[in-house]
Amino acid sequence: MKKAEKKTSVFVPDEQKIASLVRQLLVELGEDPERDGLKKTPARVAKAMAFLTRGYRQNMKSVINGAYFKSGTNHMVILKDIELYSLCEHHMLPFYGKCSIGYISKGKVLGVSKLARIVDMFARRLQIQERLTEEIATAVMKEVGAEGVGVVIHAKHLCMMMRGVEKQNSEMTTSAVLGSFRSDEKVRQEFLSLI
């Protein structure tokens, strides 16, 4: 039995195959995929799904792109109200909201736009909000070598708004705190008060 070859290329979704599956789904839902309004829908959905899940085809190296900068201070850095859009892995319906990230550097900081790009990379995958929050915090902690990191996400989930319990005003809040943000209550409180 041969060992599986290690993949060196990035997986690219087969948009034609996705379009074919969407067409089949339309038929199963009782629609006519040949009617004017739906003729191009399978291709549009395939393209949208490839875009909305592009985080699978990204990595930290390309997202950060070398944007580390030396910093002699170890003050808290905060970027708040970063818009995020994701798809829940349970129903593949969108959830959307805002993310706030804070960290205390130890000699280096990230270019500020890179924090938003990290959020996008993890959000553009099938997700649950709890894991998304943890992934962002862990990535920032690792990439910056931070003393501590805090991440808070507030989001609305269409799977709760459009189906199931149908609660339009519900908002989920998740947080992940690592390092000094977890061990030092004053640091955590400073972060929470600033966001």
* Domain 15-52 class in CATH: mainly alpha
Q: Architecture of 67-194 per CATH?
A: 2-Layer Sandwich (3.30)
pLDDT (0 to 100) of residue 1: 43
Bridge-based pairing of strands 94-104 and 76-88 is antiparallel
pLDDT (0 to 100) of residue 4: 47
For residues 94 and 105, is the Cβ–Cβ distance under 8 A? no
The pair phi, psi for residue 79, each rounded to 5°, is -125, 120
Give which of 81, 99, 107, 102 is closest to 174, Cα–Cα: 99
pLDDT (0 to 100) of residue 9: 59
pLDDT (0 to 100) of residue 60: 93
How many CB atoms sit inside 10 A of residue 186's CB?
8
pLDDT (0 to 100) of residue 2: 46
Could you give the CA distance from residue 140 to residue 148 in angstroms, rounded to a whole number? 9
pLDDT (0 to 100) of residue 134: 98
Residue 158 Cα distances to 30, 49, 182, angstroms: 23, 17, 31
- Partnered with residue 109 across adjacent β-strands are 69
For residues 148 and 184, is the Cβ–Cβ distance under 8 A? yes
Q: Which residues are marked as active site?
A: 88-91, 129, 157, 159
> Tokens 């395939």 sit at which residue?
46
- Report mean pLDDT in 10-residue bins for the chain, 195 residues: 51 95 98 97 98 96 90 88 98 97 93 96 98 98 95 97 92 98 96 96
Domain boundaries, the chain: 15-52, 67-194
